Chains A and B, each alone.
Chain A
Amino acid sequence: METTDRSKKYINPYLGGVLLGLLLLLTVYITGRGLGASGAVKNAVVASVNEISPAHVKHNAYYSQFISDDVNPLNNWLVFEVIGVLAGAFISGALSGRLKWKVEHQPGIRWRTRLIFAAAGGMLFGIGSQFARGCTSGAALTGSAVLAAGGILTMMMIFGTGYLFARFFRKLWV
């Protein structure tokens, strides 16, 4: 008898891409804004630094752009969007029977190595996203959806360099 493990059955990536595009369209229709992810992290960082040292935030050219006296940086729609993403992802994971503590990594490496490289990659991506004024969702996806040249260029650069570097780093994750 053939058994199918629900947790290993993923959606067709092309269908997933179309659904993601439709979600973006719906987001623009409902909120008048595009999707974003790094913006929420940025606002959380600005709010945390501002809590610890408001003077530093005020005099720092980068942080000071995102802070004003009457608006809390956490009161930003991207922050709420990311909270929704977490709740939705949890429900989706439960529906597919994928809720368990695990670190996905290639059998040849240890889970610790995977986490260290993931954190290092995440940091680089965070820095890069601030140079590019957005990440895959904010700049590349939303930007190219409104036919912004910067968005299309970002999309090409993210996936192009990803393709080039995958050869050297793919052993870390699959």
Chain B
Amino acid sequence: MKEELFLSGRMNPNIDPYLNIWHWQIPLYLFLGGLAAGILFFAALYTIRGKAHLMPATVKWATFLVPAALVLGLISLFLDLKHKPFFWQLYTTIRFESPMSWGAWVLMLVTPLSFIWSASYLRETVPSWKWRYRWLESFESWVIKNRPGLSWAMIVLAVILGIYTGILLSAFNARPLWNASILGPLFLVSGLSTGAAVIMWLSKDPAERKLMSKIDLMLIGIELFLIVHLFMGFLASTAVQIDAAGLFLGGQFTLGFWVFVVLLGIIVPGILEIMEIRGYHIPVAVPAILILYGGLLFRFIMVEAGQITRYLY
């Protein structure tokens, strides 16, 4: 008798009927990582362009939130790990083909950089602040002198961090909803938009606020364009991708995505920003909160829905 033995990973728990292994930790991290990337990107951009003195919220105040966002994000990533004591092994290797390796190393570089960057503005924020050691003071003056150079490193790392939050999902080729190369740029643009929203919210300078509002409006336009093309791509693809898109086009995520993410989290704040630019009085917190909420919900829905999509066999 000829015996055939089939082995399949689908027999493992939480794999069939659909993947059920990523919970709130991952989308929360993707949101915080994107937000941090957005704030750092604009801080670096305006420092490089020599306009730091015109954009205090962009270059200084908002960057104080970045270390907190990254630390919280890293804590939630850590909580998601099954074998927590082995997390350090990510740093024993560099693998260019692995998004997790990219992410681990980028975070390793960008987190300390964000601490150093905001610490260098600490004395401007708290004038009575004094560094305890002499070497810290000389390090501070070195950082202040080299801010434009550090900005170049920061802007590159911010873009990698922002794109990687999308690539982390899109490199997962067994989940059709995630396996779209447009996800990297989409997550980057969404992260930049949430970053711009925070800056806009914190800014007390009308000119700076208006500029960030205009930038955010442009990002909203790009985001909508990418979302439409994401779905056009799915619908022009195979039955697997069409089935994945179906979750958003009549399926269980239709209302959540189109009403709460696209309408309330992208289009309505966009309308409010257009009105503000045209001179109507809008409390800036409202569009900012809507954008942040839309960005957070977008990641929760993408992670949740992506796990449900699969190859049809």
Contact = CB atoms under 8 A, between A and B. Distances in A.
A90 B259 contact: no
A95 B280 contact: yes
Contacts of B280: 94-95, 97
B264 A91 contact: no
A99 B268 contact: no
Given A80-B255, A90-B272, A91-B272, 9 more contacts: A83-B259, A83-B264, A87-B264, A87-B268, A94-B275, A94-B280, A94-B282, A99-B281, A99-B283
**Do most interface residues of chain A lie in helix, strand or loop, or is the interface mixed?**
helix
A83 B265 CA distance: 13
Interface of A: 75, 80, 83, 87, 90-91, 94-95, 97, 99
A99 B282 contact: yes
A12 to B, nearest CB: 23
**How many interface residues does chain B have, given as a range?**
10 to 19
17 contacts: A75-B255, A80-B259, A83-B264, A87-B268, A90-B272, A90-B286, A91-B268, A91-B271, A91-B272, A91-B275, A94-B280, A94-B281, A94-B282, A95-B275, A95-B280, A97-B280, A97-B281
Given A80-B259, A99-B281, A99-B282, A94 B272 contact: yes
Contacts of B268: 87, 91
| Chain A to chain B: the 7 pairs with minimum beta-carbon distance, closest first | A94-B280, A94-B282, A87-B268, A94-B275, A99-B281, A97-B281, A95-B280
A91 B290 CA distance: 14
Contacts of A97: 280-281
Interface of B: 255, 259, 264, 268, 271-272, 275, 280-283, 286
Contacts of A95: 275, 280
A91 B272 CA distance: 7
B250 to A, nearest CB: 14
Nearest to A90: B286
B158 to A, nearest CB: 32
A75 B177 CA distance: 24
A91 B281 CA distance: 10
Contacts of B283: 99
Contacts of B255: 75, 80
A99 B275 CA distance: 13
Contacts of A75: 255
A80 B272 CA distance: 20
Contacts of B275: 91, 94-95
A106 to B, nearest CB: 26
Of A75, A83, A94, the most chain B CB neighbours within 10 A belong to A94
Contacts of A80: 255, 259
Contacts of A83: 259, 264
Contacts of B271: 91
Nearest to A7: B281
Contacts of B272: 90-91, 94
A91 B269 CA distance: 10
B124 to A, nearest CB: 32
A111 B264 CA distance: 32
A90 B264 CA distance: 12
A145 B272 CA distance: 34
Contacts of A99: 281-283
Contacts of A90: 272, 286
B275 to A, nearest CB: 6
A94 B259 CA distance: 22
A120 to B, nearest CB: 29
A45 to B, nearest CB: 20
B293 to A, nearest CB: 13
